């Protein structure tokens, strides 16, 4: 792949918490336009990598490149301004505010004042929660909260969207809608990097995958390649 | 669910209204201008709660005693004296609020009050601004020259000078001072230095301890190493008073302590277990224990405890307050009026009151008191022994060294030894 | 912007009407007394802003209160020119804001938050109290003004605009007008773009960073605004009483505003204002009555308020009022339901 096509790159990224090795010597390249999944059992280090991409954690060693730019030492909010956005594993929404207010907080920072209202409406519509706009977020279902958070993550008009378990806790119908949404976003040109456990979901969605095990990159490739990799099957499949 | 919420809100509102009504009704007591023709109002600002309440309560009770006696003897100018006494809670802001209230709302004829110098300085300008006669009946570091202010308490000329002279003569010239690191401690220490040098002594060291410090091990070793003849202690507050116990355990028992602060005000010798305050020499304008020797003191102590049987001690500042009110009453009678200018003139005419501590006369030039000073010391069991007395000690530093004459000049400031 | 019709706003209008009419109803002493209460309201409002809106828990508002009070004293006493007193006021407020900004910079950019801000600001105020307390000697002079140690500085000049000295009613209305302006500003601010970001920081600070907001910058800015408000309070206090001591930095000065705002309702400026005035009036009445239980009663009231009504006594009453009279059931903290949006 050409150099310009690589949107996100992690080079020799490692993270140690005191003596605990969370991840070690991670090298990942994500092409622009990709729908990429980070796979691996619990504790493999996936969320840690997400946090390092967003700047919540600083890597103990290695560098993070976004759009060929070294962002390793950049503050989180500056990375958001460059075009990386995230939906975290635990809901990062403002529970005691309404859905509308939540979206407004996200949107007002990246949209001209006159267009805020319409942009909020557009995103709420996209995320299928327009009818809930005056509800308190704490009253929403887990799935609806996650959609809201994805919507908020879209407000900054990201080039790269990180989704940590986008369908967690959702029923089959919601899961399908989520998958459709993610595909739609990818078709609109957003590069998507997501973490998930559900192999069916991953198969439906991902184009490329990276498999992590015990903090190290174990394997990478398309979904078909991973599926037929015996070692991956051994360490990973069999978990729900 | 909706009804329950509504009922909850309603009851909450009801409770609020009731509480508000209760507060408003319960607070109509104190203030409001009474019938001026029947009473003379005397404002009293003392700390009955907070850090200074140990002394504040004594002063408040002494004021009550004085006013009761005045009224028993027919009042002033044919009218009863009514005390208006808010609790200033050892809080400077409270002093400001209540002083303004007494002056502008209650319209008192004069104000007695304040313990700490800070609270005095908070209200002294308010008295000046409003031409209110003000008595600061308390020991302090001296130096206030103010036409509106009168002081019946002890100042360095009364306490420090005789004490240091006596101690150097009796025990030797080498003096070590430990003092609280703020205005009162610093200025008192300046007076110690002044007096030591004027009497051929030597100040071996001066240590200033921040307020709130309660660990003195390094101070104690320094004192022991210096081996002074006299240890002057000018410590203030609960925390600093831990020094005495630590000193009695690990200090040098042969070194006598000298203080102008302790015993006579907050009765440490009764509150701390012996021998923490043993071997301490104190000069005071009054102490409860003077009743051992002086009939006037005994008379006062007896009637104080008769009216306040549950009180723990009646000390120096209680007597100052009592005497201050009596002097004011005498001046009002002499002036035949409560008009401030007339009463001040009467006070400046050399007026004198023979009180619990002997005769107390107002020095016209400085508005401070000419009065007796007594020296006592505690033995190993912390029992108080009266050693000697100085009669009619004059508060003349202001007039001699700073040319203060309040009968001729308008002034409203506080002088310090170095300025 | 349309003002929403709810219990809080109605009460606010009534309160200000009452304040404006007050001098006609009472004597000169009561007017100056209320002016003193209103001066202390600014301190509570500074906490409403930084703690209520932004979630910054500070025991240090007394720092700016005291520093600006002392600054005004030293500046005006040194200049000796009474017409320069307004400059003392303006500079004092600016200095408070700048110092708050610097303190905020070191704390928030250093990642210090939550309870640690409370600890640091508390330490700072106590250090200042101790330091100022020992400035009694003559070496502690700035220009011709002795800092005075524990005795403080008195005879500080009142504010003079041109040849007009602000005392009595004129001082009262001066404070009241500025209070009204600040109050309106804070109500507007809550729904402004910056205000919404500030509330987001309060609700979930880490998440707000991930939405692209430079959180430490906004925190420092808000903290500076809070510092300026606390400074305003300090200078007004000095203008009322012409006196300042290190007790302005003391434990009581540091903690009482926090307790008042907590008990009244920290997220609601009207609640903070009303509770502060009521508290000062109530505690003063207790003190005047000489009740020996005054301090205990006050303590109990505050403890009960915070224990049983953690959202704030007055704020809860407003909410109850909304439920009863306006059938308002939305618990949204920005309370935008039913109102036209910006």
Question: CB-based contact (8 Å) between A97 and chain C?
Answer: yes
Contact (CB<8Å) A100/C336 = yes
Using 50, 70 and 90 to split pLDDT, how confident is the model at A48?
very high
Residue C53: inside a domain, yes or no?
yes
Contact partners for chain C, using 3 or more CB pairs closer than 8 A, are A, B
Contact state of C204 with A97 under an 8 Å Cβ cutoff: no
User: Would you tell me which residues 144-183 of chain B have a C-beta closer than 8 angstroms to some C-beta of chain C?
Assistant: 181-183
pLDDT of residue B38: 87
Q: Which of residues 189-218 of B touch C (CB under 8 A)?
A: 208, 210-212
Q: Are residues A136 and C337, on separate chains, in Cβ contact within 8 Å?
A: no
Give which of A170, A94, A171, A173 is closest to A139, Cα–Cα: A94
Do A109 and C211 lie within an 8 Å CB cutoff?
yes
Q: What is the location of CATH 3.40.50.300 in chain A?
A: 1-83+158-240
Contact C130 B212 (CB under 8 A): yes
A abuts C (3+ Cβ pairs < 8 Å): yes
Question: CA of B45, closest CA in chain C: separation in Å?
Answer: 10
CB-defined contacts A:C, below 8 A: 79
Is residue B14 less than 8 Å (CB to CB) from chain C? no
**Cα–Cα distance, C59 to C97 (Å, whole number):** 16
Beta-carbon separation of A77 and C210 below 8 A: yes
In this prediction, residue A233 carries a pLDDT of 76
Residue environment code for B61-90, b if the CB has 16+ CB neighbours within 10 A, otherwise e: bbbbbbbebbbeeebbeebebbbbbbbbbb
pLDDT at B11: 60
- Residue C322's pLDDT is 87
How many angstroms separate the CA of residue C285 from the nearest CA in chain B? 7
Burial of C177 by CB count in 10 Å (0-12 exposed, 13-18 middle, 19+ buried)? exposed
Question: Which run of H or E residues covers position A145?
Answer: helix A142-154
CA atoms of C13 and C19, how far apart (whole Å)? 10
Confidence class of residue A2 from pLDDT cuts 50, 70 and 90? low
> Is pLDDT at A1 greater than 60 in this prediction?
no
A105 contacts C196 by C-beta, under 8 angstroms: yes
Residue C333 is assigned to a structural domain of this protein = no
Q: Which residues contact B27 (CB under 8 A, 6 or more apart)?
A: C285, C289
Kindly report the nearest CA distance between residue C95 and chain A, in angstroms. 30
- Separation of alpha carbons C137 and B419, rounded Å: 10
User: Residue C123 domain-assigned?
Assistant: yes
Range of the domain at C158: 7-16+31-325
User: C330 in a domain, yes or no?
Assistant: no
Nearest-CA distance from C277 to chain B in Å? Answer: 13
Is there a contact between B87 and C292 if contact means CB atoms under 8 Å apart? yes
Give the whole-angstrom CA distance, residue C232 versus residue C64: 9
Where chain B has pLDDT below 70, the residues are 1-36, 418-419
**Does C241 sit within 8 Å of B183, measured CB to CB?**
no
Sign of the Cα pseudo-torsion (B74, B76, B78, B84, in order):
negative
Query: How many angstroms separate the CA atoms of C239 and B227, rounded?
Result: 51
Considering only CB atoms, C210 lies closest to which of A54, A95, A136, namely A54
DSSP B310-354: T-----HHHHHHHHHHHHHHHHHHHHTS--HHHHHHHHTTT-EEE
Q: What domains sit in chain B, N to C, each tagged with a CATH number?
A: 39-155+292-371+396-414 (3.40.50.2300), 160-259 (3.40.50.2300)
Tell me which architecture the domain covering A1-83+158-240 has in CATH.
Answer: 3-Layer(aba) Sandwich (3.40)
The count of domains in chain C is 1
C25 C-beta neighbours (distance < 10 Å), count: 9
At B20 the pLDDT is 59
The backbone torsions φ and ψ at residue C327, rounded to the nearest 5 degrees and listed phi first, read: 45, 45
- The angle formed by the CA atoms of residues A162, A168 and A173, to the nearest 5 degrees, is 110
* Alpha-helix residue ranges (DSSP H) falling in chain C: 7-25, 28-47, 61-79, 85-108, 115-133, 168-190, 193-203, 205-209, 215-241, 251-264, 269-289, 294-308, 313-325
Q: Name beta bridge partners: B103.
A: none
Chains that touch A (3 or more CB pairs under 8 A): C
- Picking from B254, B233, B228, the residue whose alpha carbon sits closest to that of residue B244 is B233
Is the Cα torsion angle C166, C167, C169, C173 positive or negative in sign?
positive
∠ Cα B376 B382 B388 (to 5°): 10
Write the ipTM. 0.90
Q: What is the pLDDT of residue B179?
A: 95
Question: Which two three-digit tokens encode residue B133?
Answer: 């006669």
Pairwise CB contact (< 8 Å): A109 & C207? no
Compute, in degrees rounded to 10, the torsion defined by CA atoms B271, B276, B277, B279.
160
pLDDT confidence tier of residue A41, bands split at 50, 70 and 90? confident
Distance separating alpha carbons of residues B174 and B171, to the nearest angstrom: 9
CB–CB contact C210 A101 (8 Å): no
**Which residues in chain B have Cβ-Cβ distances shorter than 8 Å to C252?**
91
CB of B85 within 8 Å of a chain C CB? The answer is yes
A180-185 contacts, C-beta under 8 A, 24 or more apart: A181/A126, A181/A127, A181/A128, A181/A147, A181/A150, A182/A35, A183/A35, A185/A154, A185/A161
Q: C187 to chain B, minimum CA–CA distance in Å?
A: 24
Any A CB within 8 A of C292 CB: no
Full pLDDT tens readout for chain C, 342 residues: 457 788 899 999 999 999 999 999 999 899 999 999 999 999 999 999 999 999 999 999 999 999 999 999 999 999 988 889 999 999 999 999 999 999 999 999 998 888 999 999 999 999 999 899 888 877 888 988 989 888 899 999 999 998 889 988 999 999 999 999 999 999 999 989 999 999 999 999 999 999 999 999 999 999 999 999 999 999 999 999 999 999 999 888 899 999 999 999 999 999 999 999 999 999 898 888 877 777 788 888 888 888 888 889 899 999 888 888 776 555 555 543 333 332
Query: What is the pLDDT at residue B239?
Result: 85
Chain C CB within 8 Å of residue A105 CB: yes
Ramachandran quadrant class, C316 (left: phi over 0; alpha: psi -120 to 50; beta: rest)? alpha
Q: Which H or E run includes A174?
A: helix A172-187
Distance, in Å, from the CA atom of C120 to the CA atom of C122, rounded to the nearest integer, reads: 5
Bond from prior residue into A233 cis (ω within 30 degrees of 0): no
pLDDT tops 50 at residue A240: no
Q: What percent of chain B lies above the pLDDT cut of 90? A: 80
| Res B69: pLDDT | 97
**Subunits adjacent to chain B (3 or more Cβ pairs under 8 Å):** C
């Amino acid at each position: 792949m050409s150099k310009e096509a690589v949107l996100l790159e992690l080079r020799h990224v490692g993270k140690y918490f005191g003596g605990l090795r969370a991840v070690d010597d991670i090298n990942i390249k994500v092409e622009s336009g990709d729908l990429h999944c980070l796979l691996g059992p619990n504790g493999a280090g996936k969320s840690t990598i997400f946090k390092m991409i967003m700047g919540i954690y600083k890597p103990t060693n290695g560098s993070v490149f976004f759009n060929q730019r070294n962002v390793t030492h950049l503050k989180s909010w500056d990375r958001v301004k460059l075009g990386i956005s995230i939906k975290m594993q635990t809901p990062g929404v403002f529970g005691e505010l309404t859905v509308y207010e939540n979206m407004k907080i996200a949107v007002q920072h990246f949209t001209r004042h006159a267009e805020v209202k319409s942009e909020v409406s557009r995103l709420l519509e996209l995320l299928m929660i327009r009818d809930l706009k005056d509800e308190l977020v704490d009253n929403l279902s887990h799935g609806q909260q996650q959609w809201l958070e994805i919507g908020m993550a879209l407000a900054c008009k990201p080039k790269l969207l990180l989704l940590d378990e986008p369908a967690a806790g959702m029923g089959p119908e919601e899961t399908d809608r989520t998958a459709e949404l993610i595909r739609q976003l990818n078709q609109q040109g957003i590069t998507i990097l997501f973490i998930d456990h559900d192999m069916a979901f991953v198969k439906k969605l991902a184009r490329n995958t990276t498999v992590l095990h015990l903090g190290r990159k174990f394997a990478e490739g398309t979904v078909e390649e991973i599926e037929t990799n015996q070692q991956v099957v051994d360490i990973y499949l069999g978990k729900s | 669910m909706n009804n329950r919420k509504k009922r909850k809100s309603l009851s909450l509102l009801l409770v609020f209204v009731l509480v508000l009504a209760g507060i408003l009704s319960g607070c109509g007591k104190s203030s409001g201008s009474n019938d001026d023709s029947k009473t003379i109002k005397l404002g009293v600002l003392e700390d009955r709660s907070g850090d200074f309440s140990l002394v504040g309560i004594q002063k408040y009770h002494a004021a009550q005693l004085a006013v009761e006696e005045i009224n028993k003897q027919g009042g002033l100018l044919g009218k009863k004296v009514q005390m208006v006494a808010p609790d200033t809670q050892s809080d400077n802001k409270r002093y400001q609020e209540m002083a303004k209230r007494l002056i502008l709302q209650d319209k008192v004829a004069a104000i007695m009050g304040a313990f700490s110098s800070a609270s005095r300085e908070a209200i002294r300008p308010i008295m000046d601004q409003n031409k209110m006669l003000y008595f600061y009946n308390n020991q302090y570091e001296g130096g206030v020259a103010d036409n509106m202010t009168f002081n019946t308490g002890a100042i360095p000329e009364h306490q420090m000078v005789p004490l240091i002279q006596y101690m150097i003569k009796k025990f030797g010239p080498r003096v070590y001072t430990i003092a609280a690191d703020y205005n009162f401690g610093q200025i008192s220490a300046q007076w110690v230095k002044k007096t030591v040098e004027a009497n051929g002594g030597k100040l071996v060291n001066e240590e200033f301890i921040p307020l709130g410090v309660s660990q003195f091990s390094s101070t104690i070793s320094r004192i022991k190493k210096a081996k002074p003849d006299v240890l002057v202690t000018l410590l203030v507050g609960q925390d600093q008073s831990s020094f005495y116990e630590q000193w009695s355990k690990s200090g040098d028992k042969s070194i006598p302590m000298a203080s102008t602060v302790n015993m006579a005000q907050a009765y440490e010798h009764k509150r701390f277990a012996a021998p923490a305050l043993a071997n301490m020499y104190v000069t005071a304008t009054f102490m409860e224990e003077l009743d051992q020797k002086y009939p006037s003191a005994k008379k006062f102590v007896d009637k104080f405890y008769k009216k306040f049987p549950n009180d723990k001690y009646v000390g120096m500042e209680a007597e100052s307050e009592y005497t201050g009110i009596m002097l004011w009453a005498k001046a009002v009678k002499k002036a035949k009026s409560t008009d401030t200018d007339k009463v001040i003139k009467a006070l400046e005419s050399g007026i004198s009151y023979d009180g619990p501590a002997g005769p107390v006369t107002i020095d016209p030039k400085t508005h401070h008191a000419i009065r007796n000073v007594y020296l006592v010391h505690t033995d190993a069991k912390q029992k108080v022994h009266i050693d000697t007395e100085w009669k009619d000690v004059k508060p003349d530093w202001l007039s001699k060294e700073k040319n203060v004459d309040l009968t001729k000049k308008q002034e409203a400031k506080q002088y310090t030894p170095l300025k | 912007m349309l003002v929403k019709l709810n219990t809080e706003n109605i009460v606010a209008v009534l309160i200000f009407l009452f304040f404006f009419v007050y001098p006609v109803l009472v004597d000169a002493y009561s007017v100056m007394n209320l002016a003193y209460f209103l001066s202390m309201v600014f301190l509570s409002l500074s906490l409403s802003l930084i703690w209520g809106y932004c979630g910054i828990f500070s025991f240090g508002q007394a720092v700016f209160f005291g520093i600006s009070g002392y600054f005004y004293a030293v500046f005006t006493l040194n200049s000796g020119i009474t017409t320069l007193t307004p400059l003392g006021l303006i500079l004092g407020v600016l200095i408070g804001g700048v110092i708050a900004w610097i303190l905020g910079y070191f704390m928030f950019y250093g990642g210090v938050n939550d309870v640690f801000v409370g600890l640091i600001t508390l330490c700072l105020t106590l250090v200042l109290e101790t330091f100022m307390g020992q400035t009694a000697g003559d070496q502690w002079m700035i220009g011709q003004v002795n800092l005075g140690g524990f005795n403080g500085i008195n005879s500080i000049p009142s504010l003079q605009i041109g040849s007009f000295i602000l005392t009595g009613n004129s001082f009262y209305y001066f404070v009241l007008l500025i209070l009204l302006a600040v109050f309106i500003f804070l109500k507007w601010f809550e729904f402004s773009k910056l205000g919404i970001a500030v509330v987001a920081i309060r609700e979930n600070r880490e998440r707000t960073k991930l939405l692209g907001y430079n959180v430490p910058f906004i925190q420092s800015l808000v903290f500076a605004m809070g510092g300026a408000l606390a400074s305003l309070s300090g200078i007004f206090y000095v203008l009322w009483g012409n006196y300042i001591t290190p007790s302005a930095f003391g434990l009581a000065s540091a903690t009482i505003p926090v307790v008042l705002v907590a008990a009244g309702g920290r997220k609601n400026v009207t609640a903070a204002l009303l509770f502060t005035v009521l508290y000062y009036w109530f505690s003063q009445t207790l003190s005047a009555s000489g009740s020996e239980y005054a301090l205990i009663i006050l303590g109990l009231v505050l403890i009960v308020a915070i224990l049983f009504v953690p959202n704030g006594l007055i704020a809860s009453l407003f909410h109850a009022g909304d439920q009863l009279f306006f059938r308002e059931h939305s618990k949204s903290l920005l309370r935008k339901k039913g109102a036209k949006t910006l």
